[in-house]
Chains A and B, each alone.
Chain A
Amino acid sequence: ETGVTQTPRHLVMGMTNKKSLKCEQHLGHNAMYWYKQSAKKPLELMFVYSLEERVENNSVPSRFSPECPNSSHLFLHLHTLQPEDSALYLCASSQERGITYYGYTFGSGTRLTVV
Protein backbone atom coordinates (compact mmCIF):
# COMPACT_ATOMS: atom_id res chain seq x y z
CA GLU A 1 0.00 0.00 0.00
CA THR A 2 1.26 3.41 -0.92
CA GLY A 3 -0.94 5.40 1.46
CA VAL A 4 -3.39 6.20 -1.35
CA THR A 5 -6.20 3.65 -1.71
CA GLN A 6 -8.46 3.44 -4.74
CA THR A 7 -11.63 1.39 -5.04
CA PRO A 8 -12.74 -0.51 -6.95
CA ARG A 9 -9.65 -1.90 -8.70
CA HIS A 10 -11.71 -2.98 -11.70
CA LEU A 11 -15.02 -1.70 -13.00
CA VAL A 12 -17.12 -2.71 -16.00
CA MET A 13 -20.07 -0.47 -16.73
CA GLY A 14 -22.61 0.06 -19.44
CA MET A 15 -22.96 3.39 -21.20
CA THR A 16 -26.19 4.18 -19.33
CA ASN A 17 -24.90 3.32 -15.85
CA LYS A 18 -23.88 5.62 -13.03
CA LYS A 19 -20.90 4.66 -10.91
CA SER A 20 -18.35 6.31 -8.65
CA LEU A 21 -14.63 5.84 -8.12
CA LYS A 22 -13.28 6.41 -4.63
CA CYS A 23 -9.86 7.56 -3.47
CA GLU A 24 -8.62 7.86 0.10
CA GLN A 25 -5.27 9.09 1.38
CA HIS A 26 -3.82 8.81 4.89
CA LEU A 27 -0.68 10.85 4.32
CA GLY A 28 -1.88 14.21 5.56
CA HIS A 29 -1.53 15.70 2.09
CA ASN A 30 -3.61 18.73 1.14
CA ALA A 31 -3.84 18.31 -2.64
CA MET A 32 -5.46 15.47 -4.58
CA TYR A 33 -5.65 14.71 -8.29
CA TRP A 34 -7.43 12.56 -10.84
CA TYR A 35 -5.44 11.37 -13.87
CA LYS A 36 -6.53 9.30 -16.86
CA GLN A 37 -4.10 6.87 -18.47
CA SER A 38 -4.94 5.43 -21.89
CA ALA A 39 -2.80 3.09 -23.93
CA LYS A 40 0.05 4.78 -25.84
CA LYS A 41 -0.77 8.17 -24.33
CA PRO A 42 0.78 10.09 -21.43
CA LEU A 43 -1.10 10.52 -18.19
CA GLU A 44 -3.72 13.22 -18.61
CA LEU A 45 -4.59 15.50 -15.70
CA MET A 46 -8.35 15.66 -15.21
CA PHE A 47 -8.96 17.43 -11.91
CA VAL A 48 -6.97 19.05 -9.12
CA TYR A 49 -8.22 19.77 -5.63
CA SER A 50 -6.12 21.94 -3.38
CA LEU A 51 -7.29 22.45 0.20
CA GLU A 52 -10.60 20.84 -0.86
CA GLU A 53 -11.25 23.40 -3.60
CA ARG A 54 -11.14 22.51 -7.27
CA VAL A 55 -8.40 24.48 -9.00
CA GLU A 56 -8.18 22.81 -12.41
CA ASN A 57 -10.72 21.28 -14.76
CA ASN A 58 -8.76 20.82 -17.97
CA SER A 59 -11.87 20.74 -20.17
CA VAL A 60 -12.99 17.33 -18.99
CA PRO A 61 -16.42 16.25 -20.33
CA SER A 62 -19.29 16.80 -17.93
CA ARG A 63 -19.98 13.07 -17.78
CA PHE A 64 -17.08 13.06 -15.29
CA SER A 65 -17.92 14.83 -12.03
CA PRO A 66 -15.41 15.10 -9.16
CA GLU A 67 -16.18 15.53 -5.49
CA CYS A 68 -13.82 16.26 -2.61
CA PRO A 69 -15.73 16.23 0.70
CA ASN A 70 -12.56 16.58 2.81
CA SER A 71 -8.80 16.53 2.41
CA SER A 72 -8.61 12.74 2.73
CA HIS A 73 -11.28 11.67 0.24
CA LEU A 74 -11.82 12.18 -3.45
CA PHE A 75 -14.53 10.78 -5.70
CA LEU A 76 -15.05 10.65 -9.44
CA HIS A 77 -18.70 10.24 -10.39
CA LEU A 78 -19.32 8.68 -13.79
CA HIS A 79 -22.47 8.74 -15.91
CA THR A 80 -23.36 8.02 -19.54
CA LEU A 81 -19.78 7.20 -20.42
CA GLN A 82 -18.49 6.29 -23.87
CA PRO A 83 -16.35 3.30 -24.84
CA GLU A 84 -13.39 5.66 -25.43
CA ASP A 85 -13.51 6.50 -21.71
CA SER A 86 -12.17 3.02 -20.96
CA ALA A 87 -8.80 3.58 -19.28
CA LEU A 88 -6.86 3.35 -16.03
CA TYR A 89 -7.99 6.13 -13.68
CA LEU A 90 -5.37 7.15 -11.18
CA CYS A 91 -5.71 9.17 -8.02
CA ALA A 92 -2.72 10.95 -6.49
CA SER A 93 -1.98 13.22 -3.57
CA SER A 94 0.78 15.65 -2.66
CA GLN A 95 1.68 18.23 -0.08
CA GLU A 96 1.19 21.58 -1.76
CA ARG A 97 3.23 24.64 -0.93
CA GLY A 98 5.23 22.76 1.63
CA ILE A 99 8.83 23.64 2.36
CA THR A 100 9.89 20.28 1.02
CA TYR A 101 8.17 18.69 -1.95
CA TYR A 102 8.54 14.96 -2.47
CA GLY A 103 6.39 14.40 -5.53
CA TYR A 104 3.09 12.65 -5.93
CA THR A 105 1.90 9.51 -4.24
CA PHE A 106 -0.33 7.54 -6.59
CA GLY A 107 -2.92 4.91 -5.87
CA SER A 108 -3.00 1.63 -7.80
CA GLY A 109 -5.75 2.88 -10.06
CA THR A 110 -9.18 1.72 -11.22
CA ARG A 111 -9.25 -0.13 -14.53
CA LEU A 112 -12.50 1.06 -16.14
CA THR A 113 -14.11 -0.71 -19.08
CA VAL A 114 -17.17 0.85 -20.71
CA VAL A 115 -19.27 -1.59 -22.73
Chain B
Amino acid sequence: SQKIEQNSEALNIQEGKTATLTCNYTNYSPAYLQWYRQDPGRGPVFLLLIRENEKEKRKERLKVTFDTTLKQSLFHITASQPADSATYLCALTYSGAGSYQLTFGKGTKLSVIP
Protein backbone atom coordinates (compact mmCIF):
# COMPACT_ATOMS: atom_id res chain seq x y z
CA SER B 1 0.00 0.00 0.00
CA GLN B 2 1.04 3.58 -0.53
CA LYS B 3 3.02 5.18 2.29
CA ILE B 4 3.48 8.91 2.76
CA GLU B 5 6.18 10.30 5.00
CA GLN B 6 6.46 13.88 6.14
CA ASN B 7 9.90 13.75 7.59
CA SER B 8 9.48 16.28 10.37
CA GLU B 9 6.77 16.05 12.97
CA ALA B 10 7.58 19.61 14.03
CA LEU B 11 9.60 22.44 12.56
CA ASN B 12 10.54 25.73 14.24
CA ILE B 13 11.69 28.63 12.12
CA GLN B 14 12.52 32.28 12.65
CA GLU B 15 10.15 34.88 11.22
CA GLY B 16 11.23 36.09 7.80
CA LYS B 17 13.07 32.88 6.90
CA THR B 18 11.96 30.31 4.34
CA ALA B 19 10.31 27.21 5.73
CA THR B 20 10.83 24.00 3.75
CA LEU B 21 8.68 20.94 4.42
CA THR B 22 9.27 17.54 2.84
CA CYS B 23 6.86 14.86 1.67
CA ASN B 24 8.08 11.47 0.44
CA TYR B 25 5.98 8.64 -0.92
CA THR B 26 6.53 5.02 -1.89
CA ASN B 27 5.34 2.97 -4.83
CA TYR B 28 3.76 4.54 -7.88
CA SER B 29 3.38 8.24 -8.55
CA PRO B 30 0.03 9.93 -7.89
CA ALA B 31 -2.01 11.83 -10.41
CA TYR B 32 -1.98 14.83 -8.07
CA LEU B 33 -0.01 15.83 -5.00
CA GLN B 34 -1.59 18.39 -2.73
CA TRP B 35 -0.74 20.44 0.33
CA TYR B 36 -3.24 21.46 2.99
CA ARG B 37 -3.04 23.66 6.05
CA GLN B 38 -4.78 22.65 9.27
CA ASP B 39 -5.28 24.80 12.34
CA PRO B 40 -6.12 23.21 15.72
CA GLY B 41 -9.68 21.94 15.92
CA ARG B 42 -10.43 22.84 12.30
CA GLY B 43 -10.64 20.99 9.02
CA PRO B 44 -7.76 21.10 6.52
CA VAL B 45 -7.72 23.94 4.01
CA PHE B 46 -6.53 23.33 0.46
CA LEU B 47 -3.41 25.31 -0.50
CA LEU B 48 -1.78 24.00 -3.67
CA LEU B 49 -2.06 21.13 -6.10
CA ILE B 50 0.62 19.89 -8.48
CA ARG B 51 0.15 17.32 -11.21
CA GLU B 52 2.54 14.47 -11.98
CA ASN B 53 3.69 16.14 -15.19
CA GLU B 54 4.49 19.44 -13.43
CA LYS B 55 7.77 20.31 -11.71
CA GLU B 56 6.84 23.42 -9.77
CA LYS B 57 3.80 25.46 -8.77
CA ARG B 58 3.66 28.85 -7.03
CA LYS B 59 1.01 30.82 -5.21
CA GLU B 60 1.99 34.07 -3.53
CA ARG B 61 4.60 33.12 -0.85
CA LEU B 62 4.07 29.40 -1.38
CA LYS B 63 5.99 27.13 -3.72
CA VAL B 64 5.61 23.40 -4.30
CA THR B 65 8.01 21.17 -6.23
CA PHE B 66 7.37 17.63 -7.38
CA ASP B 67 10.13 15.16 -8.29
CA THR B 68 8.68 11.84 -9.46
CA THR B 69 12.17 10.33 -9.75
CA LEU B 70 12.91 11.00 -6.09
CA LYS B 71 9.24 10.42 -5.17
CA GLN B 72 9.34 13.64 -3.23
CA SER B 73 7.59 16.98 -2.93
CA LEU B 74 8.99 20.07 -1.23
CA PHE B 75 6.72 22.79 0.16
CA HIS B 76 8.27 26.22 0.72
CA ILE B 77 6.90 29.24 2.56
CA THR B 78 9.04 32.30 1.91
CA ALA B 79 9.22 35.30 4.25
CA SER B 80 7.46 33.25 6.91
CA GLN B 81 5.18 34.97 9.43
CA PRO B 82 3.82 33.89 12.83
CA ALA B 83 0.39 33.57 11.15
CA ASP B 84 1.85 30.75 9.04
CA SER B 85 2.12 28.61 12.19
CA ALA B 86 -0.07 25.54 11.61
CA THR B 87 0.13 21.88 10.67
CA TYR B 88 0.77 21.25 6.98
CA LEU B 89 -0.47 18.06 5.40
CA CYS B 90 0.73 16.38 2.23
CA ALA B 91 -1.86 14.31 0.34
CA LEU B 92 -1.83 12.14 -2.75
CA THR B 93 -4.62 11.43 -5.20
CA TYR B 94 -4.95 8.54 -7.60
CA SER B 95 -7.63 8.97 -10.20
CA GLY B 96 -7.60 5.40 -11.46
CA ALA B 97 -9.94 4.25 -8.71
CA GLY B 98 -12.77 6.24 -10.20
CA SER B 99 -12.94 8.92 -7.58
CA TYR B 100 -10.44 11.37 -6.24
CA GLN B 101 -9.55 9.68 -2.97
CA LEU B 102 -6.96 11.42 -0.85
CA THR B 103 -4.30 9.63 1.18
CA PHE B 104 -2.73 11.90 3.80
CA GLY B 105 0.58 12.09 5.61
CA LYS B 106 0.71 12.73 9.35
CA GLY B 107 1.62 16.36 8.83
CA THR B 108 4.37 18.72 9.94
CA LYS B 109 3.61 21.24 12.67
CA LEU B 110 5.27 24.51 11.73
CA SER B 111 5.97 27.16 14.35
CA VAL B 112 7.19 30.56 13.14
CA ILE B 113 8.94 32.37 15.96
CA PRO B 114 8.75 36.19 16.04
Partner-B contacts on A (CB < 8 A): 2, 4, 6, 31, 33, 40-43, 45, 48, 50, 55-56, 88, 90, 92, 94, 96, 101-109, 111
Contacts and interface: CB of A to CB of B under 8 A. Distances in A.
B14 interface: no
Given A50-B98, A55-B98, A101-B32, A107 B43 contact: yes
For A6, A42, A55, the residue with the greatest tally of chain B CB atoms inside 10 Å of its CB is: A42
Contacts of B36: 103-104, 106
A40 B32 CA distance: 24
Interface in B43-95: 43-46, 49, 89, 93
Nearest to B102: A104
Main secondary structure of the interface of A (DSSP, over half): strand
Nearest to A51: B99
A90 B43 contact: yes
Given A43-B89, A101-B100, A2 B49 contact: no
Interface in B99-113: 99-107
A35 B3 CA distance: 17
A96 B106 contact: no
The number of chain B residues touching the other chain, given as a range, is 20 to 34
30 contacts: A2-B45, A31-B100, A42-B103, A42-B104, A42-B106, A43-B104, A45-B103, A48-B101, A55-B97, A55-B98, A55-B99, A56-B97, A90-B44, A92-B102, A96-B99, A96-B100, A101-B32, A101-B93, A103-B46, A103-B49, A104-B46, A104-B102, A106-B36, A106-B43, A107-B43, A108-B41, A108-B43, A109-B42, A109-B43, A111-B41
